Amino acid sequence: MTMVSRTALVLPLMAALALSACDRPSQGTSITVNGADGDTLASVDGKSGEVKLALPGFQGAFKLPKMSMEADNFELNGVHLFPGSTIRNVDVGNGRDKAFTMTFDSPADPATVRDWFRDKMGDAGFTLNEQGNEQGGTLVGKTAEEKPFRLDLRQTGGDRSTGTITLGG
């Protein structure tokens, strides 16, 4: 990815974050955008609201209101996150080892979340293989565009789970 295209990606992302920011002291979504060399180009700490930019010709930091992204703020081939989920972290990678990773928390056990994703993503053209058990679980396969996809889930107590979606890599 060239410097110009990375800058073109980062600036709209930061503008979108500014528009979606809200004050939720106990929750927050953090976002990181990395360059081809692995260096961080931009990051947002969703819990503190701190934004850091390290772009060609500009470096700086500023604060936004704390922000939190929820299930409807994410969509992949028409599939949102499990209802009631909150996004904890988004990492837009460098394209070499991973393209995109997102961590989220869901208000259901891993098996329920895994089965929900399997059905919704199957309808959206994903090819998936299921791995794991009731205490956790994994869906591995490809998107409708033949890009590598992985969903890892683990129990976090009661009827709650944490999941990580990895695209590309």
CB atoms within 10 A of CB 159: 12
Q: How confident is the model at residue 25 (pLDDT cuts 50, 70, 90)?
A: very low
The domain boundary residue, chosen from 14, 43, 67:
67
Q: Please check the confidence at residue 22 and state whether its pLDDT lies above 50.
A: no
Number of domains in the chain: 2
**Mean pLDDT of all residues in the chain?**
77
Listed range (3-17, 39-53, 82-96, 115-129) with the worst mean pLDDT: 3-17
Query: Tell me, what's the pLDDT at 94?
Result: 60
Do 32 and 109 reside in the same domain of the chain? Answer: no
Do 85 and 58 reside in the same domain of the chain? Answer: no
Distance separating the N- and C-terminal Cα atoms of the chain = 15
Farthest CA pair distance, the chain: 50
* Residues 87/112, Cβ–Cβ less than 8 Å: no
Beta bridge pairs of residue 34: 40
10-24, 38-52, 152-166: which is most confident: 152-166
Query: Tell me, what's the pLDDT at 135?
Result: 65
Do 129 and 49 reside in the same domain of the chain? Answer: no
Q: What is the mean pLDDT of residues 60-79?
A: 79
Structure tokens at 20: 């979606």
The domain boundary residue, chosen from 67, 93, 115:
67
Choice between 99 and 129, residue whose per-residue pLDDT is larger: 129
Query: Tell me, what's the pLDDT at 134?
Result: 56
The domain boundary residue, chosen from 33, 67, 101:
67
81 secondary structure, DSSP code: P
Do 60 and 78 reside in the same domain of the chain? Answer: no
Nearest to 31 by CA among 105, 101, 99: 101
Do 88 and 149 reside in the same domain of the chain? Answer: yes
Q: Please check the confidence at residue 45 and state whether its pLDDT lies above 70.
A: yes
- CA 36 – CA 144 distance, rounded (Å): 25
Do 62 and 79 reside in the same domain of the chain? Answer: no
Distances (CA, A) of 49 to 17, 32, 61, 88: 10, 13, 10, 13
Residue 137 belongs to a domain with what CATH number?
3.30.310
Do 59 and 118 reside in the same domain of the chain? Answer: no
Under 8 Å CB-to-CB from 167, ≥6 apart: which residues? 76, 98, 99, 100, 101, 143, 147, 148, 149
Strand 40-44 to 69-70 pairing: unpaired
Do 62 and 77 reside in the same domain of the chain? Answer: no
Residue 93 belongs to what domain range?
71-167
Do 83 and 24 reside in the same domain of the chain? Answer: no
Do 140 and 152 reside in the same domain of the chain? Answer: yes
Do 116 and 146 reside in the same domain of the chain? Answer: yes
Do 50 and 12 reside in the same domain of the chain? Answer: yes
- CA 161 – CA 131 distance, rounded (Å): 16
The predicted-structure confidence for 78-128, as pLDDT tens digits, reads as follows 999 999 999 888 887 765 555 788 899 999 999 899 999 999 999 999 999
Nearest to 89 by CA among 27, 137, 9: 27
Q: What is the mean pLDDT of residues 21-30?
A: 54
Choice between 84 and 8, residue whose per-residue pLDDT is larger: 84
